[in-house]
């Protein structure tokens, strides 16, 4: 911000009855909400019960099929307890209901900061803003970052460890689920079970707590415009307000939240490792006229020093390597500078 004082959306909207001009997309780039289809049945719901038991090969097959045809799936019986989910959603909501002064203690528009509150996507580079505030947290290794996390909401001030501990427990659980899914994805590609895990070097895990305030004119703007995720896999926790839309066969599909299930999507790094067998699919978030919405994606990723490229066993004369090898740090930096665009970053790494 030129003035030096950040404007969080959550403070702006309490006074707005229309969308300020810097949030309005050009007519050709608006969400066209009347053309969006309803999700029912179009994104597979996979039951992970028995993934480590006798049903492994059939569940691995379902996961592989979903990665290939949809790039998205939902999971139930995933092993993350309901009370951990409830606690994380509750603390997240409380954080965004803190006073502006409290919240702004965490503000930064520098994407390299490991803990920060910001707004839109990248206020340093973008020309049109998005209807979102977000708290970004690094979550692995937890002990390297947890001391940076916000020490509020105030209801926990006398014992803020408790507040962090709810979210920390969620992070540990989300990592475990990510690792199980990455093993299943490796196997579904006929790679060694630990192939992807080894390719990720020391591994990374970040979380965004996205806060989408009610919006007086949802058809003019986005919570997040169409993008593909730059990481490996994303595990999305959300409250009961719809907002996520996924591009399938050139049509936008609205995903209806199912309580206590997660939405999993393939990010660019799995598309690269799979040499395009699996798809990192465009998705976006739209906003609601009356209700605020919280969504909490966990971005599981390689560590910055990891070198990523198509798995050698997936390359042959009929399937030449589609991407060059690169350091994940290079990819991630390009993603933040590039901005959210339907032209994904993958194109910059093609052979
Ligand atoms: C993201 C994202 C979707 C949502 O943060 O990358 O795609 O529903 N979020 O908030
Ligand atoms: Ni995303």
DSSP per-residue string spanning 221-281: --SEEEE--SSSEEEEEE-SS--EEEEETTEEEEPPP-TT-EEEEE-HHHHHHTTTSS---
Look at residue 150 in the predicted model and tell me its pLDDT: 85
Domains of the chain: 9-349 (2.60.120.330)
Look at residue 111 in the predicted model and tell me its pLDDT: 82
Per-residue model confidence as pLDDT tens digits over 230-273: 999 999 999 999 999 999 999 999 999 999 999 999 999 999 99
Ligand 1 pocket: which of 131, 236, 262, 264 to mutate (most atoms within 8 A of CB) = 236
Please state, in angstroms and rounded to a whole number, the distance separating the CA atoms of residues 225 and 120: 10
Q: Which residues form ligand 1's pocket by a CB distance below 6 Å? A: 208, 210, 224, 229, 238, 243-244, 283, 285, 295, 297
Atom number in ligand 1 closest to CA 223: 10
Atom number in ligand 1 closest to CA 244: 8
Contact status, residue 153 vs residue 91, Cβ threshold 8 Å: yes
Residue nearest to atom 5 of ligand 1 (CA): 297
Look at residue 161 in the predicted model and tell me its pLDDT: 46
Residues of the chain with pLDDT under 50: 1-4, 155-162
Please state, in angstroms and rounded to a whole number, the distance separating the CA atoms of residues 117 and 113: 10
Please state, in angstroms and rounded to a whole number, the distance separating the CA atoms of residues 55 and 61: 10
- The phi and psi torsions of 154 (rounded to 5 degrees) equal -65, -25
Please state, in angstroms and rounded to a whole number, the distance separating the CA atoms of residues 260 and 87: 12
Please state, in angstroms and rounded to a whole number, the distance separating the CA atoms of residues 323 and 8: 38
Look at residue 163 in the predicted model and tell me its pLDDT: 59
Look at residue 14 in the predicted model and tell me its pLDDT: 64
Query: How wide is the angle at C-alpha 334 spanned by C-alphas 141 and 339, nearest 5°?
Result: 105
- The phi and psi torsions of 348 (rounded to 5 degrees) equal -75, -10
Ligand 1 pocket: which of 31, 237, 285, 300 to mutate (most atoms within 8 A of CB) = 285
Look at residue 1 in the predicted model and tell me its pLDDT: 39
The predicted model scores a pTM of 0.94
Please state, in angstroms and rounded to a whole number, the distance separating the CA atoms of residues 273 and 322: 10
Per-residue model confidence as pLDDT tens digits over 93-122: 989 998 888 888 889 988 889 999 999 988
């Amino acid at each position: 911000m030129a003035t030096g004082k950040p404007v969080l959306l959550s403070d702006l909207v309490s006074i707005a009855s229309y969308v300020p001009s810097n949030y309005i997309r050009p007519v050709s780039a608006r969400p066209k909400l009347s053309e969006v289809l309803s999700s029912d049945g179009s994104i597979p719901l996979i039951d992970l019960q028995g993934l480590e038991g006798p049903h492994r090969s059939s569940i691995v097959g379902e996961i592989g099929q979903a990665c290939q045809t949809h790039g998205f799936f939902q999971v139930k019986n995933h092993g993350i307890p309901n009370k951990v989910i409830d606690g994380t959603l509750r603390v997240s909501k409380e954080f965004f209901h803190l006073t502006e002064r409290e919240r702004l203690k965490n503000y930064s528009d520098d994407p390299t900061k490991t803990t920060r509150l910001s707004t839109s996507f990248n206020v340093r580079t973008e020309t049109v803003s998005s209807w979102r505030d977000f708290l970004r947290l690094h979550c692995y290794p937890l002990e390297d970052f947890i001391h940076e996390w916000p020490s509020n909401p105030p209801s926990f001030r006398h014992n803020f460890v408790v507040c962090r501990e709810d979210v920390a427990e969620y992070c540990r659980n989300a990592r475990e689920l990510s690792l199980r899914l990455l093993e299943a994805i490796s196997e579904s590609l006929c790679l060694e079970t630990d192939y992807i895990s080894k390719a990720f070097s020391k591994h990374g895990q970040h979380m965004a707590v996205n806060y989408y305030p009610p919006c007086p004119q949802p058809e003019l703007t986005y919570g997040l415009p169409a993008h593909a995720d730059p990481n490996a896999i994303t595990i999305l926790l959300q409250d009961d307000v719809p907002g996520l839309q996924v591009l399938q066969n050139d049509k936008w599909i609205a995903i209806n939240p199912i309580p206590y299930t997660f939405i999993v999507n393939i990010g660019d790094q799995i598309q690269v490792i799979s040499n395009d067998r699996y798809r990192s699919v465009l998705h976006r978030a739209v906003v609601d006229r009356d209700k605020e919405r919280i969504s909490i994606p966990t971005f599981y990723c390689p560590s910055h020093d990891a070198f990523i490229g198509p798995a050698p066993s997936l390359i042959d004369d009929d399937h030449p390597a589609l991407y060059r090898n690169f350091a994940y740090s290079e990819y991630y930096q390009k993603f933040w500078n590039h901005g959210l665009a339907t032209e994904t970053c993958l194109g910059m790494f093609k052979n």
